Chain A
Amino acid sequence: MAEKVLMKGNEAIAEAAILAGCRHYFGYLITPQTEIAAYMAKKMPKIGGCFLQAESEVAAINMVYGVASTGKRVMTSSSSPGISLKSEGLSYLAGSDLPALVVNVQRGGPGLGGIQPSQSDYFQATKGGGHGDFKMIVLAPSSVQEMASLTVKGFDLADKYRMTSMILADGTMGQMMEPVSLEEAAVADYDKSWAVTGTKCEREHNIINSLSLVPEELEQLNFKRYEKYKTIEENEVMYEEYMMEDADICVSAFGIAARVAKNAIAMARAEGIKVGMIRPITLWPFPVKAFKAAAEKVNSFISVELSMGQMIEDIRASVEYNKPVTLCNRAGGMIPSPEQVLEVIREANKGGNK
Chain B
Amino acid sequence: MKKRITLFAGHYGSGKTNIAVNYAIHLKDMSLPVVIADLDIVNPYFRTKDSEEELKEKGIELLCSEFAGTNLDIPALPQTMYRAVQDKGTYAVMDIGGDDVGSVALGRFAPFIKEENNYEMIFVANFYRPLTRTAEDALEIMREIEAASHLEFTAIANNSNLGEDTTAEDVLSTLCEIEKLSKLSSLPVIMTAAKKEVCALLEGKIDNLFPLNLQSKII
Using a CB–CB cutoff of 8 Å, the interface residues on chain A facing chain B are: 4-8, 11, 15, 31-32, 35, 38-39, 42-43, 108, 113-116, 171-172, 175-179, 256, 259-260, 263, 333, 335
Contacts and interface: CB of A to CB of B under 8 A. Distances in A.
Contact of A177 (B13, B131, B218): B13
Interface in B1-39: 12-13
Contact of A259 (B46, B131, B219): B219
Interface in B115-137: 126, 128-131, 133
Interface string B144-172: 00000000000000000111010000000
Interface of B: 12-13, 43-46, 70-73, 101, 126, 128-131, 133, 161-163, 165, 218-219
Contact of A175 (B44, B72, B131): B44
A199 to B, nearest CB: 41
Given A175-B44, A177-B13, A5 B129 contact: yes
7 contacts: A5-B162, A35-B12, A38-B101, A114-B72, A115-B73, A116-B45, A335-B219
Q: Which secondary structure characterizes the binding site on chain A?
A: mixed
B162 A176 contact: no
A177 B70 CA distance: 21
B46 A175 contact: yes
B219 A6 contact: no
Contact of A115 (B71, B128, B163, B219): B71
A8 B13 contact: yes
B44 A115 contact: yes
B129 to A, nearest CB: 6
B13 A176 contact: no
A7 B71 contact: no
B121 to A, nearest CB: 23
A256 B161 contact: no
A31 B13 contact: no
Given A4-B128, A15-B130, A113 B71 contact: yes
Given A42-B131, A176-B219, A177-B13, A108 B71 contact: yes
Given A179-B163, A179-B165, A171 B45 contact: yes
Given A42-B131, A116-B45, 6 more contacts: A6-B126, A32-B45, A175-B46, A179-B163, A256-B219, A263-B219
Contact of A31 (B73, B126, B163, B218): B73
B1 to A, nearest CB: 34
Contacts of A178: 163
A6 B161 contact: yes
Contacts of B162: 4-6, 179
A294 B165 CA distance: 35
Nearest to B46: A175
